[in-house]
Amino acid sequence: MKKIILILILLLTSCTQTIEEKIEGPFQVTNVVDGDTLDLITSERVRLSGINTPEKGECYYKEAKEKLKELILNKKVYIEKDKTNKGKYGRLLRYVYIDNTLVNSYLVEQGYAKVYDKYKYDTKRYYELKRAELNAINNHLGVWNC
């Protein structure tokens, strides 16, 4: 019985991380490139992990970019690393938080972005984002109304 309790304690303590270990920041956002990419004061470019917003010239591009600007430009954000540190273009893949709001999820839920299904195997919050996406789909919000 003592061995079982010891094993459970070891498992529980090895699996838990404090917020401080997972979240970095605050970092000031100096530029919004598009609806899912931003620059930090550290000169790092960040790609919002797990989501995809319309590209320039596509339906809802301007709205997605403007919403991201409204949410985070010139403000301090916290970032959380995804399973992979950087994407194929060298941008940090991160979940971005402002005022206890997960920006990635907010953009999906409000229809400014879709969940990037192509990388679901590499997105630790994939199923959380998919649940948020249901609101936008069911209410034909944003990109789901194009």
| 18-43 per-position pLDDT tens digit | 444 589 999 999 999 999 999 999 99
Domain of 59, in residue numbers: 21-145
| DSSP letter (8 states) at residue 146 | -
Residue 140's CATH number: 2.40.50.90
- How are beta strands 37-40 and 45-48 bridged, if at all? antiparallel
pLDDT at 1 over 80: no
Instruction: Give a yes or no: residue 42 inside a domain.
Output: yes
What's the angle, vertex CA 87, arms to CA 83 and CA 93, rounded to 5?
55
Question: Which two three-digit tokens encode residue 70?
Answer: 């409204």
Per residue in 81-139, pLDDT (tens digit) is 999 999 999 999 999 999 999 999 999 999 999 999 999 999 999 999 999 999 999 99
**Virtual CA dihedral for 39, 44, 47, 53, nearest 10 degrees?**
20
* C-beta separation of 93 from 40 below 8 A: no
Number of domains in the chain: 1
